[in-house]
Amino acid sequence: MITSYRQLSLDERGLIQLLLSQGCTLRAIARSVQRAPSTISRELARNGWKVERGPRGRGRPRKAGGYRPLVAQERARDQARRAQHRRRLEPGTWLWRQVVALLGSGHSPEQVGGILRRMHPDDPGRRVSHETIYTAIYAIPRGELRSELIGLLRHGHKKRRPRTRGIDRRGQIPAMDSIHVRPPEVEDRIVPGHWEGDLLKGGAASASGVGTLVERSTLFVTLAKLKDATADAAVDGFSRVLNRIDEQRRLTLTYDRGREMARHKDLTERTGIRVYFADPHSPWQRGINENTNGLLRQYLPKGADLSVLTQSDLDDIAFDLNVRPRKSLGWKCPMELFFPEFDYESYFRKNVAVQP
């Protein structure tokens, strides 16, 4: 079985012309040349052959209209000698350096594509899609450069990959309000001040933890240093970071049923925020926070000892996330939506942009 394509030879092209002059059909010619009918059809279409219209009259047999084997052979040689189109994204170019710089600062390929479209709306030569970025990285031969670039990707797979409910055995949290009685404006995601929260655990036996909070309308993230994964540590840590935010922008908090939120009433007393609890085994009810936790694992990997991080370290991590433009925000970043005075374009030119 033939698994690769062979270019037509001059002898085959000469036979095609002879069979055409005898009035053979394309399928008959294909059988004689032992080629696919589509191969013969494309050969004739690209080399000027035209079907004779009308009935055949008396006289000589009709000629192959416009098809000449020598001309077709020479044309095929010219096409083979021509250089292929230059790839859109190649090492050494300005666009490559800019993409690598953005990947190195923690952005995903899709975010890189969105940022470039935003910063260069009228210059297609300075924009690139996320698929092109993935293709360019995985097309690099095995070696140090390929490993380094794959390490910049969020999941770092060596190869590109094609993409239960149960009984809740945890103890009940006293006096909790269900997500189903949450105010309707929370679902609308129009007014800032409605948050989703969770606890990321790490270290031996998951003894250390970091509290994560994300605002639903702007995707603004703040992280809380917790001394351990207990309810006392949670109320202290969450209260500390929430009280850094204006009162009118800390209205509600949607949390899962983790026992670390057992003192939610104390949290409400300290911050004024009203806590609502999602249904058991329903992470999609806090989908924004679940997605954010996935992004945070780039900085806080599973198994890492989170107790060594200071609140200042966590603030730096949150800042990195908050200055990443997001597709769901029209390629704006959470920081400029939560703090309108923040000038992202000035930040980009000063800290991320690569000079041509």
| pLDDT 10s digits, 188-228 | 888 899 999 999 987 766 667 899 999 999 999 999 999 88
Asked if residue 191 lies in contact with residue 211, where contact means CB atoms within 8 angstroms, the answer is no
Cβ atoms < 10 Å from Cβ of 349 = 12
Under a CB-based contact definition with an 8 Å cutoff, are residues 333 and 344 in contact?
Answer: yes
Average pLDDT, the chain: 85
* Entry field: residues in the chain: 356
- Per-residue confidence band for 63, with pLDDT thresholds at 50, 70 and 90: very low
Give the type of residue at 344. Y
- Collapsed DSSP state (helix, strand, coil) of residue 120: coil
CB < 8 Å & 24+ apart, contacts of 109-117: 109/133, 109/134, 109/153, 110/327, 111/324, 111/325, 111/326, 111/327, 114/325, 114/326, 114/327, 114/331, 115/325, 115/331, 115/348, 117/331
The reported pLDDT for the residue numbered 87 is 74
The predicted model scores a pTM of 0.62
Q: Considering the domain delimited by 177-322, tell me its CATH architecture.
A: 2-Layer Sandwich (3.30)
Strand residue runs (E) in the chain: 177-178, 194-202, 208-215, 221-226, 252-255, 274-277
Structure tokens given for 32? 């004689």
| pLDDT tens-digit series, residues 102-129 | 988 888 889 999 999 999 888 888 888 8
Query: Which residues neighbour 116 within 8 Å (Cβ) at sequence distance 6 or greater?
Result: 98, 99, 126, 127, 128
pLDDT for the residue 76: 85
Could you say which DSSP state residue 91 is in? T
pLDDT at 299 over 70: yes
Cα 143 to chain centroid, rounded:
24
Q: What is the mean pLDDT of residues 155-163?
A: 62
Residue with tokens 């404006």: 185
Domain ranges of the chain: 10-51+61-81, 85-157+340-356, 177-322
- Average pLDDT on 317-334 reads 94
